[in-house]
Structure formats: C-alpha cells, structure tokens
Amino acid sequence: QVQLQESGPGLVEPSQTLSLTCSVSGVSFTSTGYFWTWIRQQPGKTLEYIGRIYHSGTTYFNPSLKSRVAMSVDTSKNQFSLRLSAVTAADTAVYYCARYYYRDHYLDGWGQGTLVTVSS
C-alpha cells in the first residue's frame, strides 16, 4: 500500500518560493505507469491539479500554474518535490501529494496534506 507524506514550511512570505517534499514508502518509486502528483485545495474551493512527474523526470503541469511551477524527483530517497515561485495569498492552500495511475487516470494514494499559508 502506497504511503505518502508531505513536508515543508507552513508559512511562506509573498513573492517568495513555496517548497514542499513528498516522501514515498510502501511501493516501488519507479513502478511503470505511475506518476507522482501535486494537488492543492484552496480555502472553500475544490481540488486542483498542480502537476505530475514520472520517475524519469518527465513532467506535466497545470497550464494556469506552469510559469511558476517546478518539480523534481530523487529516486535515491524515494522523494519528489514541488517548487512554486512568486507566491501570493491566492496560493494559500492545503497541498497534497499523491500517486496517479496514468493508464486509467486515477489517484490511488494520497498524503495527509499540509497547509501552506502565504503571509508576511
């Protein structure tokens, strides 16, 4: 059973870069067909894809966030990371990491989520 855990600062200042890491356990980090994914939920809103990354480093981003998003993987540590630059208060959200099965397009494991607040 896949287990994921987000980590990173809970408070980021406006215009700075939000950085989060997701640690994966319970499954092979390099399994074929699975993408590692970031999703967020802004207060009072529904879930929103930020981006996904394959263990090879191939990435796909939400077009609305693409200019500010970077993702990376560290296969030696079974971790993947998110960087979101030039944050504003609108980026305040609960950020989830999850595993996405590419063939059938569903998320079969999620982290607990971490609240990131953008404020000075």
Partner 1 sequence: QSALTQPASVSGSPGQSITISCTGTNSDIGDFDFVSWYQQHPGKAPKLVIYEVTNRPSGISWRFSGSKSGNTASLTISGLQAGDEADYYCSSYTNRGSLGVFGTGTQVTVL
Interface with partner 1 (CB under 8 A):
46-49, 51-52, 60-63, 96, 98, 104-113
Which of 47/89 has CB closer to partner 1?
A: 47
Residues 6+ apart with CB under 8 A from 35: 52, 53, 54, 60, 99, 100, 102
In the complex, least distance from residue 96 CB atom to partner 1, rounded to whole angstroms: 7
In the complex, least distance from residue 111 CB atom to partner 1, rounded to whole angstroms: 6
CA distances from 33 to 23, 38, 68 (A): 19, 16, 26
CA distances from 34 to 29, 55, 97 (A): 9, 8, 13
Which of 15/72 has CB closer to partner 1?
A: 72
Going by C-alpha positions, the residue among 48, 31, 36, 28 that lies closest to residue 6 is 36
Which of 67/76 has CB closer to partner 1?
A: 67
Task: Give the 3-state secondary structure of residue 2.
Answer: coil
In the complex, least distance from residue 94 CB atom to partner 1, rounded to whole angstroms: 10
In the complex, least distance from residue 15 CB atom to partner 1, rounded to whole angstroms: 26
Which of 18/98 has CB closer to partner 1?
A: 98
